[in-house]
Structure 1
Amino acid sequence: MIAPALRERFAAIVGPANALSPEAAGAQYLREPRDLFQGVAGLVLRPRSTEEVAAIVRLASQTGTPIVPQGGNTGLVGGQQPRSKGEILLSLSRLNAVRELDRVGRTMTVDAGAVLQTIQEAADDAGLFFPLSLGAKGTCQIGGNLSSNAGGTGALAYGTARDMCLGIEAVLPNGEIIHGLRRLKKDNRGYDLRNLLIGAEGTLGVITGAVLKLFPKPRGREVAYAGLKKAADMTALLGVAERHAGTNLTGFEFLSRAGMEMTLRHTQGARDPLDAAHEWYVLIEVTSQRSSQDARETLEALLTDALESGFVDDAVIAQSQAQAEAFWTLREEMSWAQKPEGGSIKHDVSVPVATVPDFLVKASEAVLAAMPDARIVPFGHLGDGNVHYNISQPVGADTAAFLARWDEISHLVHAVVRDFDGSFSAEHGIGVLKAKELAETKAGAEYAAMVAIKTALDPNNIMNPGKLIQI
């Protein structure tokens, strides 16, 4: 519990209106998307500036009060949820400004609480492009995206959140501010604290601002769906697409028929993209800095090549930007469309791109041997090897009994991931959900180095304790 006198000291920093009891704060702060981790906090603070964040963290350091930073509360591994009445939930939502946009240098300086879609729109208004994109773009905040090193659909061409960030402003566990909002593409002055804080999930400090890389806005963008018979054809199609489009291949997403059917059932206005059903689908996006015609000709050429080679059974190119967005919606809604189907045991894994088809076969063999009636719903970012290997409960099954087997089924899936020299956390982070497994499976010297860094920067273990690193 946080003593009343201490609560008053914290409240004085942000003002009474922005120091909320858990009851007043409600579900928007304490309930996460999967309902796996119910948040429990002693106090919710909503600072309005980096200086207020620093004052909060200084007081927390002096009093040994744990701090749990939170952005848009869209995380899927519990990293943004407090777990006791003695913890403070630190919401960054009021730090939401776009501070500066540099058209010449193609950078944007933003507060950590800026919503991803707001950043995308600000870049677009300036004739530029910010490529980080997630299904939760209308809610997630850039500080959370950076803290978890979010990947998303643009990683194939542009990399992850880490690759799109030039500078970081952050508050360290002792309350000191790192003033690292630099717009430099080259800066070799020692250790890169920016990259240390990105992906740290709030365990080493609180990100309060960032300098983001912007890119030239494509003049042409074309999107298509291809239907395929077998998973092995997806990697063959990827080779054809890369040969034709090169770096202009900006999207290459795969979906199973089972997942497509769920999305069609539960997404308003959704339509099957092809006339006949196919076992596998690939969404392909090609862009061009020259023209829409150039992008379309490239897409048409690669699909013709793939059809003639037998990798693709059927394909359709979006006939308008509205239809292109509808095609992307089928992919982006796939995660949420599983919820009405009952319980879902979800995995965010990565394996070498060439091995994705074999991984899908081996993982399915392992899961179905343990749970023969399970509905396997894999989809993801094939171009970078990131598979969202989700398993929906059997039709008519008891949801609680199904979810009670989460650890058992995940152990089977992650064992297959290790066989392919992959990772059980591709883009969602570690949080609470995977902290124990990280400690058990990370190579000894690597994990020891991570613990040493955490201990050096946060000796009192007040920054998001119990997440990512187990101390």
Structure 2
Amino acid sequence: MTACDALDALRTLLGPRGYLDRPEDMAPYLRECRGRKSGTSPLVIRPADTAQVSAAVRICAEAGIPIVPQGGNTSLVGGSVPDHGTEVVLSLSRMDRIRAVDPLDYVITVEAGCILKRVQDAAAEVDRLFPLSLGAEGTCQIGGNLSTNAGGILTIRYGNARDLVLGLEVVLPDGRVWDGLRSLRKDNTGYDLKHLFIGAEGTLGVITAATLRLFPRPKQVETALVAVPDPEAAIALLARLRAATGDGLTAFELMKGALLDLALAYVPGTVDPLPDRHPWYVLLEAASGFGGSALRDALEETLTDAMEDGSVRDAVLSASGAQTKELWFIREAIVEAQRQGGGSIKHDVSVPVSKVAEFIERASAALETLIPGILPLPFGHVADGNIHFNVCQPAGADTAAFLERWDEVNRVVHDVVLSLGGSISAEHGIGTFKRGELLRVAGAVEVDLMRRVKAAIDPGGTMNPGKILD
């Protein structure tokens, strides 16, 4: 079958609603969300069910046409757009059914195209919690979340996406369907195959559905914004609060004070609830399955003690739902504000929690030596060691020239990360943007094992070619 014949066969298979081939219609599927990358494709296909995905993948396999599986296209590493112009983009957006919810078994089975927020809402309707939560949850799709092993703000309590999956349905590169939609907590029958596809960024197959873990909804949730003198004090406070709340912390977000300054300057609606400005802040959340005031009392007592010994400078505990939204809006606003503050080079790294303060200090110093006047703006989910170590251009610098040094800046930061036993990708994946760095920092045996897995499952190399590995 020729490529042209295959494209015609795909159109016939999927019908008018199942494909896009006009450039203006395909354009949103061919651009990386930050604008750092764009591609071309002969066809965007939008199958409606697993059978259509299977048939479409089989047609492409027979014709040797590569496929880029795509969820909400919110990847931050270039993993969801085509590289070479010959790939068909396979969008899961029409596969958005909630197949089943079982509140007694605490599971939900959903199709890959379900928006993350919709999965959360479906769980809430039966008084359950699906805890995966990230900034893009109103647009990202669960299939993409699983394909990238997304993290988010609640990882300290509930784990990454990988930890929330009980079973998967996957279309393999030859079109066969692996039905692994099990809801068992215990299943020791051979290799746990689902973990091959979680975090594989679509390079081994197309996730079409998943069975996910649910949790009881908390009866008490407390939110606080805490001012601290430095990251070291923040990490000490983290340990203190974990003990005081019976490990009830669900989120612990560190933010440099300069980020709040940017948010107040550029993002309307941002409010600083504290009377004075401070060099560092922590936005934290704790939750309990019990009612009453015990959790709030524990937080108040611990924060009061910390203020008395100087490790906390000030704090505000939310007094209402409206104030809670105001506090969390700060976390959203600091991301938006960086887009307004000039050129920004991003990092998504992790180190052992005990090394977070050392990492921030050493990476900041190394970058100041490289580019005098550079402005590090670290923030992130430091309770799991994840820091988004973003850096803004020096005042008055040429933005284009600064961004040209992206790889150079990445390497300096990554070298510090590796010296502390960390990872160059905490939750965003590898895609194409970090592919070279992965091959630089991963051991030879590790890379060889990855290549062997890829060759065994996708010998034709048609699944999301060029992502993760070259």
Q: Could you tell me whether the CA contact under 8 Å between 1:227 and 1:313 is conserved in 2?
A: yes
Q: Equivalents in 2 of 1:275, 1:237: separation in Å?
A: 21
Superposition pairs of residues 103-182 of structure 1, within 5 angstroms: 103-182=103-182
Q: What letter is aligned with 2:382? A: L
Please give the per-residue CA displacement for 1:163-212, whole angstroms capped at 9, x wherever unaligned: 01100001011110010111100001111111111000000000000001
Give the corresponding residue for 2:266.
266
Give the corresponding residue for 2:30.
30
Q: Equivalents in 1 of 2:70, 2:312: separation in Å?
A: 44
Classify 1:411/1:140 alpha carbon distance in 2 versus 1 (closer, same or farther; 3 Å). same
2:206 is equivalent to residue 206 of structure 1: yes
Please give the per-residue CA displacement for 1:83-123, whole angstroms capped at 9, x wherever unaligned: 23211011001111111100100100000010011111111
Instruction: Identify which range, 360-369 or 25-34, moves more after superposition.
Output: 25-34
Q: Equivalents in 2 of 1:154, 1:289: separation in Å?
A: 16
Superposition pairs of residues 382-397 of structure 1, within 5 angstroms: 382-397=382-397
Superposition pairs of residues 258-297 of structure 1, within 5 angstroms: 258-291=258-291, 293-297=293-297
Please give the per-residue CA displacement for 1:417-454, whole angstroms capped at 9, x wherever unaligned: 01101000000000001111111221111110110000
Q: Could you tell me whether the CA contact under 8 Å between 1:348 and 1:426 is conserved in 2?
A: yes
2:349 is equivalent to residue 334 of structure 1: no
Q: Could you tell me whether the CA contact under 8 Å between 2:18 and 2:48 is conserved in 1?
A: no
Please give the per-residue CA displacement for 1:8-40, whole angstroms capped at 9, x wherever unaligned: 111112113321125132442122221111132
Q: What secondary structure, in the 3-state scheme, does the structure 2 residue paired with 1:333 have? A: helix
Q: Could you tell me whether the CA contact under 8 Å between 2:347 and 2:410 is conserved in 1?
A: yes
Give the corresponding residue for 1:366.
366
Q: What letter is aligned with 1:208? A: T
Give the corresponding residue for 2:309.
309
User: How much does 1:292 deviate?
Assistant: 5.3
Q: What letter is aligned with 1:113? A: G
2:462 is equivalent to residue 452 of structure 1: no
Give the corresponding residue for 2:68.
68
Number of matched residues? 469
Q: What secondary structure, in the 3-state scheme, does the structure 2 residue paired with 1:327 have? A: helix
Q: What secondary structure, in the 3-state scheme, does the structure 1 residue paired with 2:286 have? A: strand
Please give the per-residue CA displacement for 1:207-256, whole angstroms capped at 9, x wherever unaligned: 00000100000000010011011121011111111110133111111000
Q: What letter is aligned with 2:404? A: A
Q: Could you tell me whether the CA contact under 8 Å between 2:270 and 2:333 is conserved in 1?
A: no
Q: What letter is aligned with 2:147? A: S
User: How much does 1:289 deviate?
Assistant: 0.6
**Identity across the alignment (%):** 48
Q: Equivalents in 1 of 2:427, 2:116: separation in Å?
A: 16
Please give the per-residue CA displacement for 1:138-157, whole angstroms capped at 9, x wherever unaligned: 00010000000001001000
2:468 is equivalent to residue 468 of structure 1: yes
Instruction: Identify which range, 242-251 or 138-147, moves more after superposition.
Output: 242-251
Classify 1:354/1:339 alpha carbon distance in 2 versus 1 (closer, same or farther; 3 Å). same
Q: What letter is aligned with 1:445? A: V
Unaligned runs of 5+ in 1: none
Q: What letter is aligned with 2:379? A: F
Q: What secondary structure, in the 3-state scheme, does the structure 2 residue paired with 1:316 have? A: strand
Q: Could you tell me whether the CA contact under 8 Å between 2:267 and 2:336 is conserved in 1?
A: no
2:338 is equivalent to residue 344 of structure 1: no
TM-score under structure 1 length normalisation: 0.97
Give the corresponding residue for 2:254.
254
Q: Could you tell me whether the CA contact under 8 Å between 1:240 and 1:306 is conserved in 2?
A: no
Q: Equivalents in 2 of 1:53, 1:266: separation in Å?
A: 44
TM-score under structure 2 length normalisation: 0.98
Q: Equivalents in 2 of 1:22, 1:44: separation in Å?
A: 9
Q: Could you tell me whether the CA contact under 8 Å between 1:68 and 1:81 is conserved in 2?
A: yes
Give the corresponding residue for 1:21.
21
Q: Could you tell me whether the CA contact under 8 Å between 1:22 and 1:44 is conserved in 2?
A: no
Q: What letter is aligned with 1:174? A: D
2:202 is equivalent to residue 231 of structure 1: no
Give the corresponding residue for 2:355.
355
Q: Could you tell me whether the CA contact under 8 Å between 1:42 and 1:84 is conserved in 2?
A: no
Q: Could you tell me whether the CA contact under 8 Å between 2:218 and 2:289 is conserved in 1?
A: yes
Q: Could you tell me whether the CA contact under 8 Å between 1:22 and 1:42 is conserved in 2?
A: no
Q: What secondary structure, in the 3-state scheme, does the structure 2 residue paired with 1:329 have? A: helix
Q: What letter is aligned with 2:121? A: E
Q: Supply the RMSD in Å over aligned alpha carbons.
A: 1.3
Q: Could you tell me whether the CA contact under 8 Å between 1:347 and 1:388 is conserved in 2?
A: yes
Q: Equivalents in 1 of 2:308, 2:239: separation in Å?
A: 14
Give the corresponding residue for 2:432.
432
Q: What secondary structure, in the 3-state scheme, does the structure 2 residue paired with 1:210 have? A: strand
Q: Equivalents in 1 of 2:89, 2:273: separation in Å?
A: 43
Give the corresponding residue for 2:380.
380
Q: Could you tell me whether the CA contact under 8 Å between 1:288 and 1:294 is conserved in 2?
A: no
Q: Could you tell me whether the CA contact under 8 Å between 1:374 and 1:394 is conserved in 2?
A: yes
User: How much does 1:376 deviate?
Assistant: 1.1
Instruction: Identify which range, 243-252 or 165-174, moves more after superposition.
Output: 243-252
Q: Could you tell me whether the CA contact under 8 Å between 1:22 and 1:41 is conserved in 2?
A: no
Q: Equivalents in 2 of 1:373, 1:224: separation in Å?
A: 32
User: How much does 1:295 deviate?
Assistant: 2.6
Q: What letter is aligned with 1:120? A: Q
Q: Equivalents in 1 of 2:195, 2:246: separation in Å?
A: 28
Q: Equivalents in 2 of 1:442, 1:149: separation in Å?
A: 19
Instruction: Identify which range, 172-181 or 326-335, moves more after superposition.
Output: 326-335
Q: What secondary structure, in the 3-state scheme, does the structure 2 residue paired with 1:315 have? A: strand
Please give the per-residue CA displacement for 1:16-70, whole angstroms capped at 9, x wherever unaligned: 3321125132442122221111132121001110111111111111111000001
Q: Could you tell me whether the CA contact under 8 Å between 1:240 and 1:305 is conserved in 2?
A: no
Unaligned runs of 5+ in 2: none
Q: What secondary structure, in the 3-state scheme, does the structure 1 residue paired with 2:465 have? A: coil
Q: What secondary structure, in the 3-state scheme, does the structure 1 residue paired with 2:247 have? A: helix
User: How much does 1:464 deviate?
Assistant: 0.2
